[in-house]
Every structure is written in C-alpha cells, then in structure tokens.
C-alpha cells in the first residue's frame, strides 16, 4: 500500500497490494457528500413547486430509497473490479461505444460542478467579503487541487465534512423549529399525485446521478470486501445524508415561503441568529459541504474524460501533468457555466436534474442487468482496454437499447423547455425515470441474455492481480 497521499492511479486496475479500508468508509463518504446546500435546495424544490411539506418529505424519502438502491448496486462493483465505474460500461457498450454515455456523464459533472459552485461561491464570497464571482473562482481552484491529490484526501474530506456538517444541520434544525412550529409546517396533508411524483423524481434523480461514479470511491477496498457490506453502507450513507438535507430544505421552504427563493444561502445562514462568529462558521460549513461533493464531481469528470480518450488511444495510465490538465479542463468548464448561470439558478437546477435523469436511468439499467444478471460478475478485465478483444469496439445491442431507453422517456418527461404528450393525461406527473429503468432493463435482457460468447467462465484479472478470495463481511 503506497504511503503517498497523492494518488497514482487513474483508470487502471487497482492492484490487490494497494487495496485498503473497509466498507464503512462508504457510509462516511456519502453522508458527507449529501449533507450540503444543494441537497437542501433539492428538498426545498418539492415545496417551492407546490407540495405541502408532509407529502414532500415522504416523497423525497421514497425517491432517495429507490434511487439510492440503484446507486448502491453500482458501488458494490468497485471492490470486485478495482476499476472506475464507467470503465465497466465497456463490457456492455464496447471499448469505444462506451463514449456515448460517457459524453453525457461529462456534461453531468460539469453541470453539477457549476450548480454547486454557484451556492458555494455565495458562501465563500460572503466569508471572504470578495463577492460571489470571486467566491466561485476561489472555490473552483480549491476543488481542483483536492481532486488532483485524489482518493485518500477525498475520503478524509468526506469524514471531516460528515461530522462538521451533521453538527451544523442539527443546530440549524433547532433554530428553524424555534422560528416555526413543526405541526404547522406539516399541517397541509393535501395529496397531489403529480407533485408527489415530482418530489420522488427530484430525489431519485439526485441519487441516480451518483451512479456513473460511485464505484470510483469503492474500487480501493480489498477484493474480499463483501458486495452486501459495500451495498449496505453506501445505501445507508447516501439515504441518511440526502434525506436529512432534503427534509431540512422542505421544512425551510415551507417556513420561509418566497423569502427562500433566490436567497437560499443567506436564509440558511440567517437561521444562525446573526452573530458574526456563527455566521462565518455557517458560511464555512456550506462551503465545506459543497467542496466534498464538488470534488467528487471533478474527480468523476476527470475519470470519464480519461476513459473516453483511452478508448481510442489505448492508454490506461496517466502522468501527473496529464491528470492535472484533465482536472483543470473540468474546473474551467464548470466555472464558466456557474458564472453564466448564477442569476437563474433555482429553476434551471430543477430542469437540469430531471433532464439528466432521462439519460442516466437507461445506462444504469443496462449496466446493472449485465453485471448482475447476464455476466454475473464475470468480466475479462484486460479486454476492457482492447477494442479488438472480447468486448469489441462497439456493441450495438447496448447502444440501441440505450437509445430506445432515452426515447421512450421523452413522452413522459416534464421540464420547462420540453414537456412530453403523456404528461398532461397523467395530471402533470413525470414518470419518465420509471420508464427509463424498466424498458431498457427488459429490452437489454431480451437482446443480450443469450450473448454468452463475451462472458468468461470466471473473472479474468489483470496480470498483476490475484485470484479473488471468498467474500467476507467487513
């Protein structure tokens, strides 16, 4: 196991000698990644767009559980394969065909980097008295440096942020309930199906968007780590952290009304009571929480860009200079989008979440059906880097299924810039994400279940790997 804090690996397989940690590390990372201001805004959106807090909180919980389950199933692949998440997509889409979902994943990372930078930039700007624009740029630079150091620092940051942000959210929750009566906030029990499904979609999309990179942060776990332990701790961490933040957001929006819209950061900080020290600490907490998840987005974007390029160039290793260049590209693109879109954040973010969902649910469905039901965890790791090998350059069954999965969602999709024809007959409900999971999962199973020529008899490891040992709970 290397002593250096700076990570050497990129998209290459993590050797068994460098594996470390326990599955519990996934719990601390994902709690820390979700106890943050953007998750608060996501929960608030359910109320801002018309739902009462009572049903909004229940709908958000349902979405977090459903989306979190899919996300945690991806996480369980990390210890087994020792690879970043999107590399395994080559087994389904082909070594070069995987670039199709990868390009959309990169757009996602840039979008989440930008949306996080808007809110964190407000906090940094207030903390430093330099303004939002300077705050966004400073935050982006700190994010890039942290992502460049890599895996160990990311997990350490998650642990620290989890504890600090948990304490801050307990304090903010107490302050919120000092201002507003909980029974009054939950009094409206009017049930509206479209609004309920909108809230489910918001939280489910939040979780599903982690899917393309969640295994990046479990791939260093020892190969003997059980899939059940990795799944369970990931699910527990991501649901607890996100539901905590989103519940707070829903209650804050119900209490504040129009005062919350457009002033999310200042309202949350204002709950602290106005003392200068407390205000500064809360701005710091907001920036720290966003730093954790923005580093994940930057690191994941870097992995996805390298994966895309390596599918055509054939290289799996990367120099420190190359690593820094990829991360800088993500930072510059995300910062530019943040600066351009910072004045219309709330409505744009809701549409961004729902639009992303249409592109990532088919990918999740295909990846999970292939890994758990068809290949049954048996992949040829060296062939994932060889376009002339077992998986080929392009696998049209997966690509066609992916396209069908995206297209079948469009009639059910509801955003400001596009609303499908089936939304109105359903009372305005957006069920596109359900269609996007079920249709491609069934279609891919039908098309690929007899395609056994690409499935080895057992896991084929890289030359410097050992045979997998029986899994034990950790």
Contact 54, 184 (CB under 8 A): no
pLDDT of residue 470: 44
DSSP state of 385: G
Structure tokens at 189: 């029990």
pLDDT digits (tens, 9 = 90+) for 48-75: 888 899 999 999 999 999 999 999 999 9
Domain range for residue 240? 18-348
Residue 271 has pLDDT above 80, yes or no: yes
pLDDT digits (tens, 9 = 90+) for 11-42: 788 888 899 999 999 999 999 999 988 899 88
Name 371's Cβ contacts closer than 8 Å, sequence gap at least 6.
77, 88, 91, 377
Tell me whether residue 171 is exposed, middle or buried, using C-beta atoms within 10 angstroms of its C-beta: 0 to 12, 13 to 18, 19 or more: middle
Q: Does 289 fall in a domain?
A: yes
Who has greater pLDDT, 359 or 2?
A: 359
Question: Cα 256 vs. chain centroid, distance in angstroms?
Answer: 28
pLDDT of residue 414: 80
pLDDT of residue 314: 63
Who has greater pLDDT, 462 or 163?
A: 163
Q: Does 236 fall in a domain?
A: yes
DSSP state of 283: H
pLDDT digits (tens, 9 = 90+) for 341-388: 666 654 566 566 567 768 888 999 999 999 999 999 999 999 998 899
Who has greater pLDDT, 467 or 378?
A: 378
Q: Give CA torsion, residues 143, 145, 149, 155, to 10 deg.
A: -20
Q: Does 217 fall in a domain?
A: yes
pLDDT of residue 469: 46
CA 448, 451, 457, 459 dihedral sign is negative
pLDDT of residue 110: 83
Name 58's Cβ contacts closer than 8 Å, sequence gap at least 6.
none
- Averaged confidence pLDDT in the chain: 86
pLDDT digits (tens, 9 = 90+) for 181-225: 899 899 989 998 888 988 998 899 889 989 888 999 999 999 999
pLDDT of residue 471: 44
Q: Which residue has 């479209």 as its token pair?
A: 194
Residue 234 has pLDDT above 70, yes or no: yes
pLDDT of residue 351: 67
pLDDT of residue 25: 95
Q: Above pLDDT 70, what percent of the chain?
A: 92
Q: Does 301 fall in a domain?
A: yes
Residue 282 to residue 75: CA distance in whole angstroms: 31
pLDDT of residue 336: 86
Contact 408, 435 (CB under 8 A): yes
pLDDT digits (tens, 9 = 90+) for 123-161: 888 888 888 889 889 988 999 899 888 888 889 999 999
Residue 239 has pLDDT above 80, yes or no: yes
* Domains in the chain, number: 1
For residue 369, what is the enclosing H or E element?
none
pLDDT digits (tens, 9 = 90+) for 86-117: 888 999 999 999 998 888 888 878 887 887 78
Q: Measuring CA to CA, which residue among 400, 216, 402 is closest to residue 307?
A: 216
pLDDT band per the 50, 70, 90 thresholds, residue 474: very low
pLDDT of residue 347: 56
Q: Does 129 fall in a domain?
A: yes
Q: Does 295 fall in a domain?
A: yes
**Looking at residue 183, which CATH number applies to its domain?**
1.10.4160.10
pLDDT of residue 344: 63
Q: Does 249 fall in a domain?
A: yes
Contact 341, 43 (CB under 8 A): no
For residue 15, what is the enclosing H or E element?
none
Residue 473 has pLDDT above 50, yes or no: no
CA 435, 438, 444, 446 dihedral sign is negative
pLDDT digits (tens, 9 = 90+) for 303-337: 888 888 877 776 666 777 777 888 888 888 888 88
Q: Does 389 fall in a domain?
A: no
DSSP state of 450: T
Structure tokens at 131: 């303004």
Residue 330 to residue 336: CA distance in whole angstroms: 10
Contact 235, 218 (CB under 8 A): no
**53-62, 230-239, 260-269, 440-449: the lowest-pLDDT one:** 260-269
**61-65, 260-264, 462-466: the lowest-pLDDT one:** 462-466
Residue 274 has pLDDT above 80, yes or no: no
Half-sphere exposure of 255 (CA within 13 A, CB side): 20
Q: What is the pTM of this model?
A: 0.89
pLDDT band per the 50, 70, 90 thresholds, residue 465: low
pLDDT of residue 320: 74
pLDDT of residue 472: 41
Helix (H, G, I), strand (E, B) or coil at 460: strand
Residue 36 to residue 176: CA distance in whole angstroms: 16
């Amino acid at each position: 196991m290397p002593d250096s804090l700076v990570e050497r690996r990129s998209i290459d397989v993590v050797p068994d000698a460098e594996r470390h940690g326990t599955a519990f590390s996934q719990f601390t990372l994902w709690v820390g990644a979700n106890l943050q201001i953007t998750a608060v805004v996501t929960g608030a959106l359910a109320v801002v767009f018309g739902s009462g807090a009572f049903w909004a909180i229940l709908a958000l919980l349902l979405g977090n559980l459903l989306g979190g389950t899919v996300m945690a199933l991806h996480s369980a692949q990390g210890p087994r394969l020792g690879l970043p998440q999107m590399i395994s997509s080559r087994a389904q889409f082909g070594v070069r065909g995987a670039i199709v979902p990868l390009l959309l994943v990169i757009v996602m990372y840039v979008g989440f980097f930008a949306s996080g930078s808007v809110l964190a930039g407000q906090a940094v700007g207030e903390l430093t008295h330099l303004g939002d624009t300077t705050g966004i740029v400073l935050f982006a630079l700190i994010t890039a440096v942290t992502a460049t150091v890599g895996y160990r620092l990311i997990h350490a940051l998650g642990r620290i942020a989890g504890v600090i942000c948990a304490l801050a959210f307990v304090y903010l929750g107490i302050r919120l309930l000092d201002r507003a009566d909980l029974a009054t906030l939950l009094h409206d029990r009017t049930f509206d199906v479209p609004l309920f499904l909108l809230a489910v979609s918001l939280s489910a999309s939040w979780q599903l968007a982690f899917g393309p990179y969640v295994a990046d942060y479990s791939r260093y776990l020892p190969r003997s780590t059980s899939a059940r332990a990795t799944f369970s701790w990931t699910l527990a961490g991501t649901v607890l952290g996100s539901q905590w933040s989103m519940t707070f957001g829903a209650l804050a929006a119900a209490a504040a009304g129009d005062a919350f819209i457009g002033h999310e950061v200042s309202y949350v900080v204002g709950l602290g009571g106005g003392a200068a020290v407390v205000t500064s600490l809360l701005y710091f907490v907001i920036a720290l929480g966003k730093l954790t998840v923005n580093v994940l987005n930057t690191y994941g974007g870097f992995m996805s860009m390298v994966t895309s390029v390596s599918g055509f160039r054939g290289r799996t290793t990367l120099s420190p200079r190359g690593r820094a260049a990829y991360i800088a590209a993500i930072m510059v693109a995300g910062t530019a989008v943040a600066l351009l879109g910072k004045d219309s954040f709330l409505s744009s973010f809701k549409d961004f979440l729902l639009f992303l969902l249409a592109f990532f649910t088919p990918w999740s469905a295909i990846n999970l059906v292939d890994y758990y039901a068809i290949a049954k965890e048996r992949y040829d790791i060296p062939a994932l880097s060889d376009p002339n090998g077992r998986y080929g350059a392009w696998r049209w069954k997966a690509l066609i299924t992916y396209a069908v999965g995206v297209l079948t969602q469009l009639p059910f999709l509801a955003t400001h810039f596009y609303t499908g024809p089936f939304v109105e007959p359903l009372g305005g409900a957006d069920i596109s994400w359900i269609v996007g999971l079920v249709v491609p999962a069934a279609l891919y199973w039908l098309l690929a279940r007899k395609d056994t020529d690409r499935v080895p008899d057992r896991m084929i490891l890289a030359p410097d790997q050992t045979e997998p040992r029986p899994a034990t709970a950790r």
